[in-house]
Structure 1
Amino acid sequence: MPSRRRSAVACLFCREKKLRCDSVQPTCGNCATKGLVCQQGILQPKQRPTNHRIAQLERENQALREQYAHMQKSSPGSPSISRVTPTSPIEATHPEARDSDPTNKPPPYHGPTSTAYDDSTLLPEAPRGDAPLAEESARQSLFAAAARQRQLERLNLAAGRLDFDGVDPAIGMHLLSIYWSRQLYTAQIIYRPAFMRDMACGGPYFSRLLLNAILFVVSKHYPRPELCSDPDDITTAGWRFRQRFTELLRLMFDQSEITTLQALLIMSNALFSRCDERSRSWLYAGNSLNMLIDLGLHVLPSDPTRLTAEELEIRKRVLWGAYLIDKIQCLFQGRHPLLRQVDFNTPLNFWDEYDELEEFQCITYAPAGSRPGVPSLNVTLLTKLCELALIIERIVGELYSVSTRDRAGSPSHMVTEKINADLTKWRNGLPPTVDYLSAPSPQIPLPQSCCLLALYNVLIILSNPPLVTDRNGGSNRFRPAHEGVAACTGAANQIAQILRDYCQHYSIASAPYMLSYATYISATIHAHIAAQKGPDSSAFQSLVFCRRILIEHTRLYGAAAKARANLDKLLERLQVVIPDGDLPNQNISNHLVPSGATRRDGDTLAAMELVDSIDPGLGVAELPSLDLSDLDLEAIAEGLFVDGDLHGWMQSLSGVCQ
């Protein structure tokens, strides 16, 4: 009897189960055993939903969400539809529920050119008629959660739940308080309610790597002997935190985590300003931004309801904080940006406004230690700083990029005018509580307001180069010399005024590095004016004042020492002599040194000595009537010459040795 031939195509059931199929029979044996209708000899591929069907299901799902939201709103006292992570002490000790949530660990991001790209996540979203109501609900829920978590911080500290990685809890909490009060753009990259909550329960938004980065950053402002590797040298404060950071980084460097990229970013900023380790600082920043892209934090999901209000706020804080640090490092180091505005779609709109009216703490800023009733304005300051960072990107890209220098006649007069117009518009949009110089009545400025206004004047100087080079190496005058020199001189004078005001109300010895950077830029402009006007001019007084501040800042910032060395080289070239005895070195007042810290004689200046060194009449009132009639403006413009390959004026302003 001839053998029975087996069909070349198995039935559907046998193919899925990978069984031997005798599909030549009317019903194969497998299907007969299971009581199934046998699709004999027919290959039926598995059905997959179409994009149209997926979009339809998404719209139905959204409609159900909206109905649920209306039901919740109609019930008195009902919770918001925006889920807020548990914050009670009991819930904080059981993080398993949150850790199992896939939204806590975003999948790696792949763009449209990748074979791993999934376009189903970018389907058009159904219209949302109640978007403003949902946003307001999210704002209120975040505010309430932040207020509750602020109370729980003290309870968790008293209960010993906070993980300080072996550091004395009292010292650790004080260092954290300094960090939240001082670091504007680096502190805001960490969402405090989530960090402090997860610090008590080992959640995803806390890590010991990030903790040690924070402690190292602020330890220079609290140099207690037990925190110094050398008790006689306050510059060694917090070095054990850096060693611990390096130890932990070896274990986490190859994993993209939100806390790791946060730690790398804030450590990058500290390594430049405090340690003057420029290459390592830049490499840390680059790796952190790569992690940010890998996690997809730069792209909002097409359906924001997939994330909680807290998760959306954290994404915005991390992204805009990274963008800020990138742009500011571009200025400090004279490098090109790594993260551009076109690379992300996250709006500049922060929901949690709890820190806006939080009382400002003068920890390490002023001898009094507090200013009752003064709001910190952290949200406003962060938003305005982000807006200024967008202009920084344009200045670097349109005025100082290599490709721009290679194009004949670039940058154009129109580019410069547009950037200056945007800077003016930004300044006019500042509230009086931030722009104290333009306020109708005198007021004491916030330290971060001084930094913000100083940075604005830095950008005025950078956006008004008197000369540029064409592609053949020749100079190209696109605006009269007096316009550029007047703009630069006015901005330098206003920086000096800001520094003077800062000295009157706060300790210049512990000023943020942003002011140190602005001090150097202001000094370079005053040096060119003083070279022509002589030692009796207000420009010379401002120059002496700025140089003394740089000397004072070398106690905390290694980059300030490099800037002062560059300034001295410039003064030598311009033949401007500043006698060392112009201002006697005096010990800084005892109230400027933290309790338990080591103070060395002869290396600091009293704050009021610095104030007295500047002409009291110098300030905003002098800016509209700058007297440039007796100056050789062409010579000054030549002195502020912008080299074609970014190794001239901008690099000298960034503090890089030439």
Structure 2
Amino acid sequence: MAQRLQEAEKQLAEMRSGRESTPASESGGGATTDQGFRPVVIPAHPAVGTVGHLSPTRPPATNSTHHPSPLDTGAGNTAFQSSSGIASHTKQTPAARDTRTMPQDSALTDVSVDEHGEICYYGPTSAVHDPPQLDSPLSLATSATNPSVSSKADARSAVAAFARESATWEDFALGNASLETGIPRAVLAKLLHVHWAWVSPMFTWVYRPAFVRDMATGGRYYSEFLLTVICSHAAKYQDGEYADMLLARARRLLGNAIQEPSSIPTVQALLQLSARDLAQGSISRAWVYSGIAFRMASDLGLQHSGPDLRGMGAIDLEVRRRHFWSCYFWDKATSLYAGRLPAVTEVLHPDTLDLLDDSTDLDIWSPYYGNSLNLTKFTQNQYPPMRNYAVSTFVSSCKLSMIIHDIIVQLYYRRNRTNTEETIKDVKSRLDSWRENSPRHLRYDPDHLPTICPPPHIISQNLLYFTTVILTHRPFWSIPSYYKVCISASRSIEALVLLLESTFGLENITYLMGYCIYTGASAILEDAKCNKGPASQTLKTYLRALNAGMKTCPLLERSLQIIVKGLNRYPSSSSMNLSGHSQSQGVAEVDFHLNAATANSYIPAFPYLGPDMSMDFCGSSYLGNQNPDSMSMLDCFPEMQTDFGELLYTHVD
């Protein structure tokens, strides 16, 4: 161990002196990768024995390896206010929704360094902010004059070297964390493997190299609170006896964490607590946790993480960008289920999605961990080697979430209906473009699926795409062509679910998969009640999936109840005739004024706001005399809030 530490310190010294150079090669997606590097995966067979030789003392020399810009404190106003490099979604017509960048001088007034050398974020209206001078260490400049990141190639080299360095600390970090938390090393190693394989790839809440290195050195990107939450979240997949204990400990640590200055590990932990509570059905608590996380992220100024932010090292910028996009994506996921407006309404410049470290795309994804973990239907080690593609999946999902944001705001919220037709055209065009431009290794055609399912996060993204197609067309389901698009997307979701079931089963589906399954069921429900074609069999698949998924995601019970309740209603008269209409019929020939039977039979887009069920934040007992329109809630029945008369004379293809 001492020899490994000496080698690591020598490598770090070479990095600081600029003597180490790492070649970078362009990948197909525009990102670069060191082809010879694979991040160290937690060993398949954990070391047996004591960990006494792993000293809890942090090597002092390693603290200087982190780039000097502190990120862990600051102050802000509202969540993610617009500034440099940020494109706002609010109140834009579809034609004007292209990403726009505010002047650099605007961001210059928002980010500064306080008297303690900490990064601060204050908006231009702040009464406690003294704008920095142009020669401030944190002033903004173009990347060409930025001494921290002189070029993207240099930045990629620095990040690749850092990833290799962090692998050196893996074993030491596990030993230290075991001593600090009291969790047996073997258990800790297995839970972290579950996290990196099953939890992390979809939302990428934690950047592994920074977390592992700082878990060993006590750096700013690690905390006991974060580690405990990660383990408690992963424990539900395998070690149920540890799950309750770890969750109780995490909640105790939460009380202290939120009293401290904002930090990235606290934000990461809150997001994962939000995810866990959402899956357990504690929707209000999950919503509050994520809200605190978004405020802390704004407090840290994560929206100021573009390549022109001076004074930041490549590693710091990589962590900040990844974490901002994690917040953005998770915000859309929670907004979908809760039926509420997104809280994170701005995005960084699209260039920030060109992440510097895409090395995990080359990792081999495995559902196994030694002889103690097998989350497939295959016997040990029969699952064929498949690449992880975690980074490209995350980047592509973030791009899709930008479209989802506009669908929620433009199509489901009480909006200005004069732009409805233009919005539909724009969203459909962007969805088609997203699908066409997605990496080929992430696209799965439901009509030509493999016999063995790829890693679940890849299937999850495909499920989310077809769900987004349904959400786009569903408010206008009385248009025959739109209704058929929803039916087709629902059957595509079924095909993907069957593929997932054949390899992994349905007991460990995630919340997001469950939401996609629910949405597919909502689209096929009317046809199933009328016994049209294969709709009944498709619905049985969805009901089986939701029932199985309740084991690890109790939240799905509510969605299942809504679907079953919908089956007991009479079929809508309009849906019984939709499939008989000709595609050439115009909108004027369709009866857009849905009758009461139609409204009563249709499932809401958002299962949390189920019909005839108690609704958090929506019932009259909670609102008193307030106008429900004043609440930031999405319509339970969005199809009833659309003025179809505006589409009366023009049929949108």
| Structure 1 segment 218-617 matched on structure 2, within 5 A | 218-224=234-240, 226-227=241-242, 238-255=243-260, 256-273=262-279, 275-300=280-305, 303-341=308-346, 347-363=352-368, 365-368=375-378, 370=381, 371-402=383-414, 404=415, 407=416, 409-410=417-418, 412-437=420-445, 442=450, 444=452, 445-467=454-476, 481-533=479-531, 537-574=533-570
Matches within 5 A, 1:109-148: 109-115=121-127, 116-120=129-133, 125=141, 128=144, 134-148=151-165
Letter in 2 for 1:145: F
CA distance in 1 between counterparts of 2:143 and 2:349 reads: 22
> How big is each residue's C-alpha offset from its partner over 1:197-227, in whole Å with a ceiling of 9 and x where there is no partner?
1112222111111111111211110135x42
Q: Which residue of 2 aligns with 1:30?
A: none
- Cα displacement (A) at 1:79: 8.1
Task: Give the superposition deviation at 1:567.
Answer: 1.0
Contact 1:341–1:390 (CA under 8 A) maintained in structure 2:
no
Question: Which stretches in structure 1 are left out of the alignment for 5+ residues?
Answer: 1-71, 81-86, 228-237, 468-478, 577-625
How big is the shift at 1:141? 2.6
Give the alignment partner of residue 651 of structure 1, picking from 567, 592, 606.
606
Partner of 2:205: 189
Amino acid of the structure 2 residue aligned with 1:153: E
1:457 maps to amino acid: F
**Based on CA coordinates, which of the two structures has the bigger radius of gyration?**
1
Instruction: String of CA shifts for 1:304-337, please: whole Å, max 9, x gaps.
Output: 3511111111001110001111011011111110
Distance 1:269 1:160, change over 3 A: closer
Greater RCO between the two (CA within 8 Å, min separation 6)?
A: 2
Shift, 1:649, TM fit:
2.6
Structure 1 residue 558: Cα displacement: 1.5
How high is the TM-score relative to the length of structure 2?
0.69
* Distance 1:305-1:78 versus aligned 2 partners, 3 A rule: farther
Q: Distance in 1 between matches of 2:16 and 2:294?
A: 40
Alpha carbons of structure 1 residues 460 and 385: separation in structure 2 relative to 1, 3 Å: same
CA distance in 2, matches of 1:509, 1:362: 14
SS class of match (1:183): helix
- Secondary structure of 2:144's partner? coil
Backbone CA RMSD of aligned residues: 3.7
Q: Hey, what's the Cα distance between the residues in 2 that align with 1:156 and 1:304?
A: 31
Q: Are residues 1:628 and 2:641 paired?
A: no
User: 1:472 maps to which residue?
Assistant: none
Q: What is the aligned partner in structure 1 of residue 70 from structure 2?
A: 103
2:486/2:523 contact within 8 Å kept: yes
User: Is contact 1:333–1:655 with CA below 8 Å preserved after alignment?
Assistant: no
SS in 2 for 1:558: coil
Question: Matches of 1:506 and 1:350 in 2, distance apart?
Answer: 30
Q: Are the counterparts in 1 of residues 470 and 485 from structure 2 also a CA contact under 8 Å?
A: yes
Pick closer, same or farther for the CA change 1:149–1:490 going to 2, 3 Å.
same
Q: Distance in 2 between matches of 1:135 and 1:119?
A: 26
> Counterpart in 2 of 1:169?
185
Shift of the 524–443 alpha-carbon distance from structure 1 to 2, 3 Å rule, reads same
Equivalent pair of 1:358/1:375 in contact (CA under 8 Å): yes
- Give the Cα separation in 2 of the matches to 1:640 and 1:305: 60
**Residues 492, 523 of structure 1: 8 Å contact kept:** yes
SS at match of 1:347: helix
- SS of match in other structure, 1:433: helix
Work out the CA distance in 1 between the residues paired with 2:420 and 2:564.
Answer: 33
Identity of aligned residues (%): 23
Native 8 Å contact 1:450 1:498 kept in 2: yes
Q: CA deviation at 1:639?
A: 8.7
Note if contact 1:332-1:655 (Cα within 8 Å) is conserved in structure 2: no
Q: Conserved in 2, the CA contact under 8 Å of 1:181 and 1:360?
A: yes
In structure 1, distance between residues paired with 2:305 and 2:597: 43
1:341 to partner: Cα distance: 2.1
CA distance in 2, matches of 1:352, 1:548: 39
Aligned partner letter, 1:283? V
Displacement of 1:147 after TM fit? Answer: 3.1
* Distance in 1, Cα, partners of 2:447 & 2:523: 26
Aligned to 1:56: none
Note if contact 2:169-2:216 (Cα within 8 Å) is conserved in structure 1. no
Deviations 1:471-494 (A, max 9, x none): xxxxxxxx9610221111111111
Unaligned 5+ segments in structure 2 are: 1-14, 24-38, 41-53, 73-117, 369-373, 583-588, 615-653
Q: 1:353 to 1:640 in 2, by over 3 A?
A: farther
Q: Determine helix, strand or coil for the equivalent of 2:124.
A: coil
User: Which residue identity does 1:510 align to in structure 2?
Assistant: N
How far the C-alpha of 1:511 sits from its partner, in A, is 2.1
Distance 1:651 1:282, change over 3 A: same
2:494 and 2:486 mapped to 1: Cα distance? 12
TM-score by length of 1: 0.68
Give me the whole-angstrom Cα distance separating, in 1, the residues matched to 2:18 and 2:120: 39
Q: Deviations over 1:395-426 (max 9, x none)?
A: 01111123x0xx3x455222112101111111
State the alpha-carbon separation in 1 of the partners of residues 565 and 448 from structure 2. 41
